[in-house]
Amino acid sequence: MSFPSRRGAIVTNTTVGSLYAERVAQAFANKGFTLSVIVIPDGEEYKTLSTVEYIYHELLRLNLDRKSFLLALGGGVITDITGFVASTFLRGIDYYQIPTSLLAQVDSSIGGKTGVNLEEGKNLVGTFYQPKGVWIDLSFLSTLPEREYREGLSEVLKAAFLEGGDFLALVEREKEVIMARDSLILEETVVRAVDFKRKIVEEDEREHGRRSILNYGHTIGHALEKALGYGVLRHGEAVALGMIGEAFLARTMGIETKRVLETQKAILDSFGLPTSLSLFCDHSTFCSALLKDKKKEAGKVRFVLLKDFGQPCVGIEVEEEKITEVISFLQGGKQ
């Protein structure tokens, strides 16, 4: 893999940086590179324009130029924010992804979406900007806390639900060894998830068509993250709840043809992911967050819903009254 220069910076957070930044910097130093390290706080609540500005100032302080490059070392927040910085600093410099969480390895490091959150909602400012390379090392996953590992499985399961067939059968059959982080099965699972997303992105990089199916679970999930306060739910947990909520919508609208909701709930439960909301979520706050979703068109929120596993339907408009029912369902479980 080629690099534009021998000078760059690692962008990481306090948690990952303390574990891996020195090791990565030294590995590059052994090859003749000089990498500085920029550390930001750990957490979704720091995925903001103020953090981006801080990184800009650090890059200028380090005298990096248009041929310098960035390494994103961390989970989804780091991959998103580093990509956004790279796409805008000096009108664009190269960057590379070293995702250290399962969620980042199977989702946020793949596809070139970058972004930061605003007070009004998640990922409302961003760019499409492809990394020059992505290194996926499963050994990073050995140090992940259990909750963080499980949230990454939500994105794996999302891909399996969308693809159906052999992929869905794989995760159902190998649940216990996946949960135990068995290296061989985990490698096969990650490869399947990455390959699924890669094919879709290659077909529709800018999300004008088929790529929108990857938003399954995210429309409701993002609104929950915003309504509850960033950091209350982890992203993957919100996506799991979002998939349940959107399966409920598919049933109430007569789109679902089989027992997708029950099967999906059973699989998510078996992987230790939330399928009901124990926290109070104000309906009006949730709907307000949903109506600011970046995917809305002509003032209407559009959903990805499953007719069956492997059969997503895109661009489905849902009336606000039905959306409000989702929160009641997630909090009470009534079908």
Q: Which residues are catalytic?
A: 91, 113, 155, 197, 207, 211, 215, 218, 222, 235
3-state secondary structure of 121: strand
Which long-range CB contacts under 8 A does 48-57 form with residues at least 24 apart? 48/116, 48/117, 48/118, 49/116, 49/118, 49/125, 51/81, 51/116, 52/81, 52/84, 52/85, 52/88, 52/116, 55/11, 55/81, 55/82, 55/85, 56/85, 56/89
Contact call for residues 90 and 104 (beta carbons, < 8 A): no
Query: CA neighbours within 13 Å on the CB side: how many for 126?
Result: 24
CB contact set of 324 (below 8 Å; sequence gap of 6+): 283, 287
Distance CA(287)–CA(94), nearest Å, equals 38
Q: How far is CA 48 from the centre of its chain?
A: 16
Distance CA(128)–CA(105), nearest Å, equals 18
Distance CA(155)–CA(22), nearest Å, equals 29
What DSSP designation does 73 have?
E
Measured between its terminal Cα atoms, the distance across the chain in Å is 52
The tokens describing 208, both together, are 């004008």
Distance CA(73)–CA(78), nearest Å, equals 7
Contact call for residues 74 and 105 (beta carbons, < 8 A): no
